[in-house]
Structure 1
């Protein structure tokens, strides 16, 4: 498979769901429809789901690329309302509702942060409105994970797997201590921490806990999207070179054929010229003989 996710999260999920051609996901903090997407692989397989992305331009990109999905241009929190989203324009995936975190961003001269007022809804409200079983839920909201988890109704809506980003943005520092007890209380166990995310499965789901317990590895037989793109570009380049070589061979063959035809025409022209010369000589001889006969004395 081709992995589009930042840390091969889609590879682990694909291992569990084993090539299923249909299913349903909820992607909270969906961001881009392709780059670093945990759900791109599944959408291509035929899965459909809900994308939650408060940045208008990214929500619109998701709608265009994923017409089969529901895309909501809102943020999720512990209760409905509105809030200020600190949109990091030049760092995809770093936008946050966390004002303190946004302040650290502004301290970095390379980051451009603008404020956008967004609607806040709860995960429970979204899943009530768009009902149905959820195979996996992904949460990547840059510091607001607890708010999303608090806004869920874990008795009525129980995804088989929940993947939550568990480190501070751009850091290896753990950030799960504030909300991990909520997941445990909801009846989930952490199957794996992959260095970036914590993978949770329902506590009695032995299969999921076992299959998610091992990080993505060579036995999963996957290729990262950027590597696949490089291979595809290289194959396209090779195909283009081969087309040029074939065109050159055809041109050379045409040239050789034309040279052969030219040589044949040159030989034919030389033969015709020789025949013309001989014909002229015969005519001249006949004319001389005719003059000779005309001048001969008559008897």
Structure 2
């Protein structure tokens, strides 16, 4: 009863009904079924490696706190973490719906400088990557553009007193993923699992990817690639 009351007060009536309905359907049709909140089932892959009741995540480019979220299923299991997005409206939803988390409105990059953040009517394709923005202007409507000062992931984690051992790092920032990854010192912070969007990845020639090369150089190994996302486990933690 305590869990039901907490869900109702924290997520509101509509989301509460949605959660209960999904749980009932899964129990009726398949007792082993686990509902996915992610856009293309990323959280199903994540939980196959990190299925435990408590943990710590960092979600960069987190977008919506529930819908298409890679970390909400973990939040429901008792996890906490840091969610980062440049869209202030989305972060305000995190502050309302994911109160155990630290929720930050920021642009993350490997250099701290002024950048132009372009928001589209479809928030999932908003970005600071100029090429990405130009491509999407032909398909989506620009809703807002503003100049912000980027910040490194290292700096954010230091300010938040984040633990050095992190269970999950999820990065999805529409064409700026390598720069976000590069802004984290993997000699200090060691995510057990890193999930990062990799565009134009050639699975037969992975070394052509800067992200793949960067992570393997830091003793991570790719364990999965699905729908533009690479999954990397800390090889040092397995020894």
User: Could you say which TM-score interval applies, normalised by the shorter chain?
Assistant: 0.7 to 0.9
In the alignment, which of 143, 146, 153 is matched to residue 116 of structure 1?
Answer: 146
Deviations 1:36-85 (A, max 9, x none): 00011011111000000111101111111111100110011002233111
Q: Which structure's residues are more often strand, by fraction?
A: 2
Residue 249 of structure 1: aligned partner? none
Residue 150 of structure 2 aligns to a residue whose secondary structure is strand
1:205, distance to aligned residue in structure 2 (A) = 4.5
1:113, distance to aligned residue in structure 2 (A) = 4.5
1:134, distance to aligned residue in structure 2 (A) = 1.1
d(CA) in 1 for partners of 2:181 and 2:193?
13
Q: Is the 8 A contact 2:125 2:136 kept in 1?
A: no
Q: Which runs of 4+ in 1 moved over 4 A?
A: none
TM-score calculated relative to the size of structure 1: 0.63
d(CA) in 2 for partners of 1:159 and 1:43?
17
Matched, 1:25 2:82: no
TM-score calculated relative to the size of structure 2: 0.78
Correspondence list, 1:1-299, <5 A:
1-18=34-51, 20-89=52-121, 91-108=122-139, 110-130=140-160, 131-132=162-163, 133-167=165-199, 173-174=200-201, 177-206=209-238
d(CA) in 2 for partners of 1:14 and 1:49?
16
d(CA) in 1 for partners of 2:80 and 2:236?
26
Residue 76 of structure 1 aligns to a residue whose secondary structure is coil
d(CA) in 2 for partners of 1:7 and 1:100?
24
Residue 181 of structure 2 aligns to a residue whose secondary structure is helix
Residue 243 of structure 1: aligned partner? none
1:203, distance to aligned residue in structure 2 (A) = 2.1
d(CA) in 2 for partners of 1:80 and 1:34?
29
d(CA) in 1 for partners of 2:71 and 2:54?
12
Q: Which structure's residues are more often helix, by fraction?
A: 1
1:162, distance to aligned residue in structure 2 (A) = 0.2
Measured at CA, do residues 180 and 113 of structure 1 come closer, stay the same or move farther in structure 2, by a change above 3 Å?
A: farther
Residue 295 of structure 1: aligned partner? none
Count of residue pairs brought into register by the alignment: 199
Residue 132 of structure 2 aligns to a residue whose secondary structure is helix
Q: Name structure 2 gaps, 5 residues minimum.
A: 1-33, 203-207
